[in-house]
Structure 1
Amino acid sequence: MFFLDSIKRSLYMIVPFAAYYVMYALFTSIGKLIYGMAVADGGETADFMRAHAQSYKSWSAVCVYVLLVIGLWILFNKSDPLENRLIKEKKGFIRILLNVFFFGGSAAVFLNILAGYIVDLLKIDTSGTSSFNTDTPFVPGLLLFVFLSPLVEEMTFRWLTFGRIKKNINVPAALVVSSLFFGVIHGDAVKAVYAFIMGFIMALIYQLSGTFVLAVVFHMAANAFIFIPPYMLKGGGASEGAGLATGVVMLLLSVVFGWLVYGGTKKEQ
C-alpha cells in the first residue's frame, strides 16, 4: 500500500512536467507538418515558405506557446489554484513589483557575464548550444522570449511543479527539485547551472510572496535584459573591461534589489 501511495504521489508531482513536454511536442509537430505540406507541392507557396523559413519558425513557436498557456490553464486551473496573495491584499504590491523587475534583470545580466568568463576560463565548447540571437525577427522573438516563454515556464515549474512538490513533501525539496527540472530543460551544463540558480530564486520569490505574478515578472525581466540589448548593439560590442565593470555593477544591483524584494515580501506577510 505504501509503495502504491508513493507511486501516486510521484506521478502527481511530475504530471505537469510531462504535460508540458507532451503538448510542446504535439504542437511543434503540427507546425512542422504544416510547413512540410506547404513546401512539398513546390510552386510559389513553397518558394515563399523557404524564403521566410526563419519568420515562420518564430511565429510558429509563438503559436505553440500561446497554446501551451491555454492548455496548462485548462488542465490544472481547478486542481491547482494560483497563489496571488499580495495582489489580493494590495499591500505595497507596485513597489515590490518594481524591485522584482530590476532584481530579475540585474541578476540575469550578472550571471550571464559570469558564465561567459567561466566558459572562457575553462575553455568550454558552447558552439552547439542555442541562445538568444538576432537572427530571430524582433517582434516574434520579443513575444516568445520575453512574454510567452517565461509565462509557460513559470506555470510549469513554479505554479505546478514547485506547488505540488511543496504540498506533498516540503518547501526545501520543492525549491531544489523544481529548480533542477528547470535547469535540465535548458540543455548544456553552463545554461543548466544558470537556469537552476534563476529557478531557485523565482521559486523562493513565489514562496515568500505567495504571489505567482512576481515570479513571472522576475522571469520576464531576466529574459528582456538578455534578449533586447543585442538588437540595440547590433554591429557593436563591449570590451572585456567594460564587461567586467558591468558585471560588478549588476552584482551590486542584484544584491540591493534582492534585499529589497526579500524585505518587502517579509514585511507584507
Structure 2
Amino acid sequence: MIESTTKSYPSVSQSFGITGILILGVLLFSPVDLLLNKFIGKEASMLICYLLSIGIPSWIVYLIRKRKTDAHSFNLTVKNKRIIPFIIIAAIVLLMGVVGPITSLIPIPESFKKALIGLVSQRGVFTFMLMVIAAPVLEEFIFRGIILDGLLKRYSPTKSILVSSLLFGLVHLNPWQFVTGFIIGIFSGWVYYRTRSLSFSIIIHAAANLTGFLMRFFIDVDSSMNASLLDMYSRLINLILVIAGSVLIVSVCVYFLRKEFERLKDRNGCIEDTI
C-alpha cells in the first residue's frame, strides 16, 4: 500500500535534482583536494574535500526537505539487533561474490588505471574515516533517509528502491562503482523499506566499504586490473562456484531477514512486504 503523498518529498524528478546537486558539489569542491593536497597530504585532503562536496549539498537538501515536509529528524532506532549479522554477511558476500565478478567484466581504460591504482593505494586513517564513517553516514542520509523515504510515500516499494539505487550508483560517476552502488543500494533499500531505520542502511554501507578498504591490504591492484575474470578465478568452475555460493548465502540471509521482519511486523504492525 502506497502512503499518502501529502507533504512528501522528493518525487522522482526531484530525486534526480538532488543527485545533480550532489554531483555539482563534487565538481565545485574538487579544486579543494588539489589545493590542500600540497599542505596536508592526499588522504587528509580527500577527506576534507568529501565532507565539503557531499556534506554541504546534503545539508541544503535536508533544509529543502525540512521546509517542504516539516520533517526534522531521521529514524535511527534499532528495534531488532538480530538482523545485524545477516545484513552484514549479505552485504559482504554481495560485494565479494556478485559485484566483484560483474565489475571485473567492465574494461578499465589505461588512462584511468593509474588514477585508480593511486586511489586504492591509500590505506591510512583518513581514508578509513572517509570510507567507513563519513560516506556511509552522509550518503545513506541522502539516498535512503531522504530520497527513498520520500519516494516510498509516493510510489510502489519496487519503483522507489530501484530509482534510489539507480541514483546512488550514478552519483559515483564511474561504471565500476555504479554497479556496486546499484546492487548494494537495492539490498540496503529493501532493508530500509522493511525497517524504516536508517541505522541498518548505514551498517550495510559501512560493512561493504570496510570490506573494500581491507581488501586494499591483500590484493595486488595492478595485476588484478590486467587479469581477465577467468584468470582471477583460475578456472570457470571456480567462478561458477563462487557466484553460486554467494547467491546461496545471500538467499539464506534474506530468508532469515524476512522471518525477522515478519516478527517485527506482528509485534508492531509494520508495513507489509509487497516486493
- Structure-2-length-normalised TM-score: 0.70
- Do the aligned partners of 2:33 and 2:49 also contact (CA within 8 Å) in 1? no
Rg larger for: 1
Label 1:74 to 1:58 Cα distance change in 2 as closer, same or farther (>3 A). same
Matched, 1:250 2:246: yes
Unpaired stretches in structure 1, ≥5 consecutive residues? 1-7, 36-48
- Do the aligned partners of 1:108 and 1:223 also contact (CA within 8 Å) in 2? no
Distance 1:55 1:13 in 2: 30
1:3: which partner in 2? Answer: none
Distance 1:172 1:81 in 2: 26
Kindly report the root-mean-square deviation, in angstroms, between the aligned alpha carbons of the 2 structures.
Answer: 3.6
Distance 2:126 2:220 in 1: 18
Matched, 1:240 2:228: no
1:207 is displaced (CA, Å) by 0.5
Q: 2:124 is matched with which residue: 138, 149, 153?
A: 138
Matched, 1:219 2:205: yes
Q: 2:18 is matched with which residue: 13, 16, 33?
A: 16
Label 1:185 to 1:18 Cα distance change in 2 as closer, same or farther (>3 A). closer
Which amino acid in 2 is paired with 1:203? Answer: G
1:239 is displaced (CA, Å) by 5.7
**C-alpha deviations, 1:173-227, integer Å up to 9, x for none?**
2122112212222334454233222212211111111211111111111111122
Label 1:62 to 1:85 Cα distance change in 2 as closer, same or farther (>3 A). closer
SS of aligned partner of 2:153: helix
- Do the aligned partners of 2:86 and 2:257 also contact (CA within 8 Å) in 1? yes
Q: 2:93 is matched with which residue: 78, 98, 106?
A: 106
Matched, 1:61 2:49: yes
Which amino acid in 1 is paired with 2:45? Answer: K
SS of aligned partner of 1:231: coil
- Do the aligned partners of 1:208 and 1:266 also contact (CA within 8 Å) in 2? no
Label 1:179 to 1:61 Cα distance change in 2 as closer, same or farther (>3 A). same
Which amino acid in 1 is paired with 2:81? Answer: I
SS of aligned partner of 2:172: coil
Which amino acid in 2 is paired with 1:267? Answer: R
Which amino acid in 1 is paired with 2:23? Answer: Y
Label 1:75 to 1:98 Cα distance change in 2 as closer, same or farther (>3 A). farther
- Structure-1-length-normalised TM-score: 0.71
Percentage of identical aligned residues? 15
- Do the aligned partners of 2:94 and 2:250 also contact (CA within 8 Å) in 1? yes
Unpaired stretches in structure 2, ≥5 consecutive residues? 1-9, 225-230, 266-275
Label 1:131 to 1:102 Cα distance change in 2 as closer, same or farther (>3 A). farther
1:95 is displaced (CA, Å) by 0.9
- Do the aligned partners of 2:99 and 2:179 also contact (CA within 8 Å) in 1? no
Distance 1:174 1:227 in 2: 29
Q: 2:137 is matched with which residue: 136, 148, 151?
A: 151
1:32 is displaced (CA, Å) by 4.4
- Do the aligned partners of 2:137 and 2:202 also contact (CA within 8 Å) in 1? yes
- Do the aligned partners of 2:169 and 2:177 also contact (CA within 8 Å) in 1? yes
1:109 is displaced (CA, Å) by 1.0
Matched, 1:167 2:163: no
1:5: which partner in 2? Answer: none
- Do the aligned partners of 1:100 and 1:218 also contact (CA within 8 Å) in 2? yes
Label 1:194 to 1:229 Cα distance change in 2 as closer, same or farther (>3 A). closer
1:135 is displaced (CA, Å) by 2.0
SS of aligned partner of 1:136: coil
